[in-house]
Chain A
Amino acid sequence: MIETIQLSKKFKDKTVVQDVDMYLDQGESVGLLGPNGAGKSTTISMISSLLKPSSGDVKLNGESIIKNPSDIRKVLGVVPQDIALYQELTAYENLKFFGRIYRVPKDQLEDRIQHTLELVGLKDRQKDLIKTFSGGMKRRINIASALLHQPNILILDEPTVGIDPQSRNYILEMIRRLKVQNGTTILYTSHYMEEVEQLCDRVYIMDHGKVIASGSQSELLSILSNEDTISVQLSKMSPPLAKEVLALEPVRQVEEDGDTLKIISKKSSNIISDLVRLADQHQVKIINFQMVNPSLEDVFLHLTGRTLRD
């Protein structure tokens, strides 16, 4: 349905996105994962025709959209990272304005507005000004504005940033319903690993403007098939201890998280005795010790040596 071919963007001398190849099939949901500054927003700006690529191409059903962006704009809904709403207008007025400029037929506009407000659970607040809404409610209207023209493809750029867990769950559930009930194709960018794990069939991981890995979740997790992830809860965190653990031969990565050390080591390597010895040397007690299933976060850590929120 949509594919990008060697998509690149340079701002002056700085390459922000480099040779990104991606594709989205009809009805699937694809996650674009990466830390802040990885180039996710620039990539989706090019896919949505807002930004011209420096090189490469974006194709919709085999046709380039670079010269004629109107084709993709008709079938595309974009939920930007920022709240792209008029704060001094009510929720209803915002939806009516965006519905009109998206050329929703006049006789259908009112029904669509009410239906969309129902979908995002804010029908009873439609007459209130956006500036009076909470962050979560603003995010929901932000999504609603992109749904009025019933797009086949929905691009969501970090739609849950900075909101409470309740609103976040509401939004994730809403996106899931859009995919299942309407068959909407979804491109979802986030640096929240668990959201991507919940929503997406396939994942692209970006870092420093490049796609560094892609595939289904199981394919990505298999990258770690030669490794074990071990979680060790300590009586207190000791950075010198963490440093010495990292120096052990089978250990690839060590991440400090509160009082817990997350250790990635070679598969079936026995580091327990070494861990007990080092803990003893540093006068730290091991409270808990468990082998954990690897997550996409671990994949990212493995690939880049950094966590997504670094």
Chain B
Amino acid sequence: MLTFLKKDLLLFWRDRKEVLLVVILPLLIIVVLSISMSGMFDGDENLNVDLSLGLVIEDQPEEAIEVISNQISMSGKIPEDVKDNLINSIESAPPVELLTNALMSPGIGDWVTVKTLTEKEAVDSVENGGRDAMLVIPSGYTEQLLSYLYLGTENKPELSFSAKETSFEVDIIHDTIEGILNQMNLQYALSLSGTEVDMTQIQLPEGSTESIAADRDFTMGIDQYFTLSMGVLFVLFMASTVATRITLEKREQTFNRVTLSNAPPYHFLFGKTCATFILAMLQIILIFMGSHLILDVFSDRTMMFWSGLLLISIVFSLAVAGLAALMTSISLRIKNPETANGAFTGIIMLFGTIGGSFVPIYVLPDWLQKIGEFTPNGQTLSVLIEWFHFEDLSLIWLPLTVLTVFTVISVIISMMLYPKRGEVS
């Protein structure tokens, strides 16, 4: 297998045009996009614009709190010594209140103007451009959320976020709300374990204050967002780049020569898979390091942050390698190489779109967002953003596991699809 790996790496290295394309082009795009949109940011890379959010509260938290408090009191699953503390937490800081307070807190309220509206008012103001976005807290939200967190019910409630069109303003508001919700859920979960948590406010990382996340700055800069999203997208393209080379090996009959050599069939496949992993790793490292050197996107980050970034890069590169294996096997079965190449580029573009590499995923329909969560780039981008904000391993281990499962399944399917003798088209 090492022979195949060496050959594939050597072939890639010899194709200088391709090498420049996979490393220089993403860096160029990141720099150009960052500079062209840098007017949105001041020297400290903090938001310099006034964003506006319409908040629609349909929930009736009082009734829900009473119901949940009773259920907590009667629950046999929650330790007795924690029950009073939990009920006090809920009563003193209901979720809706925590959320609205966080949105209007000095750290966020300085650049996001939140106004409570009826649904119709909110829809109209977003529609006529008066507000950047609207957030709806649906009826039953408090009860469903607390039941999910404390009583183990299955349905996690969701807030409805909508905007007329995608923009960086909208993107930033969405990320901010997502960060608040993650932190709120974490604090509620910690209170269940008996840990003493100040539930009167959401402890958002702010300034030099040490809190749960080690971020100095909660808001992600535009250059940082592009580094992550474009980095992930271009690395994803590595899968189709490798698969496209198969068509050349088929056309020039080198694949037939390999088949006739009696080499174990999967060595060819695993050679491609390992080569893709190595190339994807190198690519993502070069993009991140290049962006950092040019734009200083990861300044003053801890060793922990860099280690996590490396871990996420490794897992994502494995997923891209799995995808390349799958595309390799499919490519060997498809008769028309142009069809295969077109289909692979289409799949990558689709993954890029529904995975949020081109546009933020919340502008897409819900069902598409759900699918997007399962794309390797969608998962990775979300993990990178979480890691960038919070450096909290507990937030990323699950998506990383999903990515690993994706890799394993892709490799297994690619082995099943790998053509037997006479099946190469």
Q: B-contacting residues of A (Cβ < 8 Å)?
A: 48-52, 69-70, 73-74, 76, 78, 80, 82-89, 93, 97-98, 100-103, 129, 145
Contact = CB atoms under 8 A, between A and B. Distances in A.
A85 B256 contact: no
Given A78-B257, A101-B267, 10 more contacts: A73-B260, A73-B262, A80-B256, A80-B257, A82-B253, A89-B7, A89-B11, A97-B3, A103-B262, A129-B14
A145 to B, nearest CB: 7
Interface in B103-128: none
Contact of A70 (B4, B262, B422): B262
Contact of A50 (B6, B7, B256, B262): B256
B196 interface: no
Nearest to A80: B253
B20 interface: no
Interface residues of B, number: 22
Given A76-B260, A78-B257, A86-B7, A51 B422 contact: yes
B75 interface: no
Contact of B11 (A76, A80, A88): A88
A145 B253 CA distance: 13
Per DSSP, chain B at the interface is helix
Interface in B234-272: 252-254, 256-263, 267
A309 B422 CA distance: 29
B15 interface: yes
A4 B341 CA distance: 38
Ranked nearest first, the 3 interchain pairs of A and B with the lowest CB-CB distance are A52-B422, A84-B253, A88-B14
B270 to A, nearest CB: 13
A88 B262 contact: no
B421 interface: yes
Contact of A86 (B11, B262, B267): B11
Contacts of B260: 48-50, 73, 76, 78
Contacts of B258: 101
B67 interface: no
A82 B252 contact: yes
A103 B267 CA distance: 13
Interface in B1-35: 3-4, 6-7, 10-11, 14-15
Contacts of B262: 70, 73-74, 102-103
A89 B4 CA distance: 13
